[in-house]
């Protein structure tokens, strides 16, 4: 889930469109108000799923 490079773009917020994009997992949500209101699970859950998939891929490789 990303390389940790300081120049790596992690997340983009587009206020006119109400959109938040997490570039690490190519996730785009049109729920910016919810996200900024504290519903971080909208992004955390898919990040955890991606991380688990990466771990399983490493084990299977």
Distance between CA atoms of 47 and 41, rounded to whole angstroms?
A: 9
State the pLDDT confidence band at 3, using cuts at 50, 70 and 90: low
Q: pTM of the full predicted structure? A: 0.78
> pLDDT at residue 7 above 90?
no
Reduced to 3 states (helix: H, G, I; strand: E, B; else coil), residue 48 is helix
Report whether 35 contacts 28 (CB < 8 A): no
Distance between CA atoms of 21 and 7, rounded to whole angstroms?
A: 17
Six-digit token string for 39 = 């519903």
Mean pLDDT of the chain: 92
Report whether 25 contacts 50 (CB < 8 A): yes
């Amino acid at each position: 889930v990303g390389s940790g490079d300081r120049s790596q773009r992690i997340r983009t917020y587009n206020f006119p469109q109400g959109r938040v994009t997490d570039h690490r997992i190519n996730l785009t949500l049109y729920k910016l108000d919810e996200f900024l209101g504290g519903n971080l699970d909208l992004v955390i859950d898919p990040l955890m799923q991606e991380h688990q998939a990466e771990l399983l891929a490493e084990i299977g490789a």
